[in-house]
Amino acid sequence: MTATDVRVLRSPRLPTARGPISRAVIDHCSGRALPLPAEVSVADPYGEDLQLALYVCYELHYRGFDGVPDAMEWDLPLLGLRLELEEVFLEALHRDVAGGTDVDAEVTELLTETVGARGISHHLLRDGTLEQFREYVTHRSAYHLKEADPQLLVVSRMAGRVKAGLLTVQHDEYGAGRVEAMHSELYAAMMHELGLASTYGDHLDRVSGSVLAEVNLMSLCGLRRELRAAAVGQFALIELTSSPGSARLVRAARRLGCGPATERFYAEHVEADAVHEQILRREVIAPMLADEPELAEGLVFGIQAGQLLGSRFADEVLDAWSSGRSSLR
């Protein structure tokens, strides 16, 4: 059995709770009674507790957890609680983004990098330490060890050119049929090179609730047909903005002496995502709006919500580093 096989077959252990809501979810998954927490309606929608609870609920649709029956994926009490959590999260996102229907304006803004921008890749290129680079990779493992899985959920909700365009991008994400070239595998190889555990789910107790919120939005939009346009919007945000940041991270990796596997992961995203940008704009977004122009609002929401959550994560990490603290829990 190869290392890849171990990563595929092994389910992670349940994480440690971060508050009463996540404790109720984790206890229920462990076979204990699920008390519906009164705190849900007043919980911090971006907080550690609610976001971990949502992440655990969604993870049941991916790899599950060690010792948790697969049937828990469709447990009715847990689904009911998840819907409550989702509504609190969505209400906050709709409140905190501008909204609108001008997709062209949003895409144009994504393609324009602000001079002197403050961001994690800028910091790691200029001033970051190797330990900070490792912290960033640890945080991002919550998504990249299952890279493109949340976006795959939306493909079956599309048709025609839109479905074909999405699958063209996904084909690259999954290594064009070569397991060793899957982006999740490239990420695991980078983690191994950096001296980090590379097994799926190993770092769940250490990563920030802010990064969990980004991944949760992907899962939420992928699982709800009504949010299919938002799923495409968030996917577009990732693919249209990835190349410049990945190029900076290639240079940061070289500066810090990280090694070939680390450079390869980010170099792959410089090249691939430049191509994906064109496919998403011309073969996904354009025909999608031509067929269903009413989805413009959802596309804009997906882009803006992804930007909001990405900014919250970046600010949290950079604030920790500027104070001389680790950004990990």
Q: Which of 157, 171, 164 lies closest to 292, judged by CA?
A: 157
Question: Which pLDDT does position 3 carry in this prediction?
Answer: 46
Confidence (pLDDT) at 148: 94
Domain map of the chain by residue range?
3-96, 103-322
Exposure class string for 220-231: b at 16+ Cβ within 10 A, else e:
bbbbbeebbbbb
- Torsions phi, psi for 142 (to 5 deg): -60, -30
pLDDT category at 2 given cuts 50, 70, 90 is very low
Find the length of the chain: 329
Domain boundaries 103-322, corresponding CATH code: 1.20.910.10
pLDDT (0 to 100) of residue 276: 85
pTM of the model: 0.94
Residue-wise pLDDT for 135-174, tens only, equals: 999 999 999 999 999 999 999 999 999 999 999 999 999 9
CB atoms within 10 A of CB 322: 10
Task: Say which residue the tokens 């290392």 belong to.
Answer: 3
Q: Name, of 33-37, 61-65, 116-120, the range with top average pLDDT.
A: 61-65
Q: Residue 195's Cα: distance from chain center in Å?
A: 22
User: What phi and psi values does residue 58 have, to the nearest 5 degrees?
Assistant: -70, -35
Q: Tell me the C-alpha to C-alpha distance, in Å, between residue 110 and each of 48, 143, 149, 262, 274.
A: 28, 21, 23, 25, 13
- Tokens matching residue 133: 């680079």
Q: Residues 6 or more apart from 25 whose CB is under 8 A from it?
A: 34, 53, 56, 57, 78, 81
User: Rounded to 5, what percent of the chain is helix, strand, coil?
Assistant: 70, 0, 30
Q: Do 135 and 325 touch, CB atoms closer than 8 A?
A: no
pLDDT tens-digit series, residues 47-56: 999 999 999 9
Q: What is the average pLDDT score of the chain?
A: 93
Contact assessment for residue 203 and residue 141, using Cβ atoms and an 8 Å cutoff: yes
pLDDT category at 6 given cuts 50, 70, 90 is very low
